[in-house]
Amino acid sequence: MSNEEQLLRRPLYVFDLPSNLISNLALKTGRETPSPPEAVETPVSTPNHDGEATATSCGLCGVNSTTVEEQKAHVRSDLHRFNLKRRIAGQAAVPEAEFEKMLEDMNESISGSENDSESSGDDNDPLSTLFRRKARIASEATGSPHQTSKTGPGKAPIIWYSSPLLPHTVSLGVYRALFPHVERDGADYISGLQSSQLKANPEENPAHIFMCMIGGGHFAAMVVSLAPRNLKRQGTMEREVTVLAHKTFHRYTTRRKQGGAQSSNDSAKGNAQSAGAQIRRYNEAMLMTEVRDLLASWRGFIDTAKLIFIRATGSVNRRTLFGYEDAPLRSHDPRIRGFPFTTRRATQSELLRCFTELTRVKISRIDEATLAALAEESKKAAEPPTVKPAKPEAPKLSKEEEAQILHSTQLAALVRRSKAAALLSYLTTNKLSPDFQFHPPNHHSPTLLHLAASSNSPAVVSALLTKAGSDPTCTNPQQPKTPFELAGDRATRDAFRVARAELGESKWDWEGARVPTALTKGQAEERENRERADNEKEEKARRRKELEKLKQQEVKSPERVGARSLASSVVMGLSRREEEEKGLTPEAKVRLERERRARAAEERIRKLQGK
């Protein structure tokens, strides 16, 4: 078994590390800055009651989260907002422990300040008040001849170590919050870790830590000994947490679906007189009394605790723990820490999870490729951001170009609506060429005649050719086809042939324009009449055939005597239809037939509804 497998086969406990490992630890260089989330691996996964565990982190605050919900809660927290303000001001972010210490130095919660001049600018915003105070202190320090302002990145929440007993790609991490302020300020993390080992202090009463959380009407506190119990289970020795005392409270103090404590709402909008408000107000007072009584009974544990971890955000929660007469907890106590990671609801199981997370050594395994990528990313981050070149402004149009665009829009609309007379009038009024080129260029229909032919408008085609004098041979490299080749129906193509007959063969190169032989208006009308007559003849033959078919059916199944026969009814109906359609154009006949069918459909629907 290799050294790595032998040392890391079980989770490492910060206060009881193997002797050979603790004596060969060295501080990891280049890891004092916050590490990316890929570089930190928690050896033992913590359960997530909300769903599957996922790894997330905040690179700004250096806080690791186990779920996306925790990361979202951190983004909405005061710490993240404060660090965003510092980033905007060009200052380094602060870790959660230092942020909690700043709050304690204010002698009040983050909800306000005792100095009226500090809280009059941003509507008593707590983060703005704290930020202005730190900015004022920094400016005073900069102005002093004996002091200099401290700049640089914030401290990472985890201290990383290396050991010759492990591969160089493996690093061991311990939370910075576990070190006393002496070691933290002096950066003596090697001797601090060695002196905190249980083997170095063989006492009858080992040290213990005090942890408590309060928020949303939930309170949980626990005193945990740093000396775990070793139990033998299934032939193996397992380490179990030694809990000296624990207690939880819960009171209904948070307004449902609205959030916030009742006292905060009273301070902002005045005392509400509803039954729910009175219940919440009473529960806040009872919760404060219960918590303070518990802290008084645990004064011995609190006074002798090695470290104190507290999570209490908001003015009401901090007033519950600090600032009252004979309070066991003092805001300036150097032992007080904040949890260096995101926490969930205050429960006993959450405190046990936090203790396990705090006291277990973090293991990071990074290969050479990842190290090179991290070094490259840090190098890029150190470089000044590149300024994107501004987009070039669109060139201003001249008056001639603007006029061309206006004419193109108006003429295209007239052509598409088949307004031949209006089109000719527009060309004459504005003195435009009949071979007007659209602007911007229209590669499919570059000229008016191309657009009229592609839009199947024979009236416009005839007007442009015979009255305006458009050139039917006009083409360009983008559209090598002539206007005649873009025509989509016979009426439009006949307009070109009629214009050829009216203008004469010498007017244009009709062969080059791909226009077939000339066709006069008389010939076109004669052909149309002939086709109409053929269609009527075919229609009469079809009706005669249908009548004969109906008569044969009537002979096979005769109707009752005296009643009108089916064939005669059909004949009367057909004759009436012929009378109605006499003198109508084909379009009018189609419209009449459509209306007749619609009326018949409405009658059928009416009969069905009557049944």
Q: Which residue numbers are catalytic?
A: 262
Q: Do 407 and 447 meet the contact criterion of CB atoms below 8 Å apart? A: no
Q: Please state, in angstroms and as integers, the Cα–Cα distance from residue 370 to each residue in 36, 39, 160, 421, following that order.
A: 11, 9, 17, 76
Across 510-537, b (16+ Cβ under 10 Å) vs e yields beebebeebbeeeebeeeeeeeeeeeee
d(CA 53, CA 67): 6
Q: Retrieve residue 473's tokens.
A: 């041979």
What does residue 334 show for φ and ψ, rounded to 5 degrees?
Answer: -70, -10
d(CA 576, CA 36): 90
Q: Is residue 603 packed enough to be buried (19+ CB in 10 Å), middle (13-18) or exposed (0-12)? A: exposed
Q: Please state, in angstroms and as integers, the Cα–Cα distance from residue 472 to each residue in 404, 459, 500, 581, following that order.
A: 22, 15, 10, 39
Our CA angle for 176, 291, 109, nearest 5°, is 60
Q: Please state, in angstroms and as integers, the Cα–Cα distance from residue 584 to each residue in 62, 102, 576, 595, following that order.
A: 86, 94, 14, 15
- In the numeric block, the tokens 């009378």 are attached to 579
Residue 359: what residue type? Answer: T
Q: Is the peptide bond before 440 cis (omega within 30 degrees of 0)?
A: yes
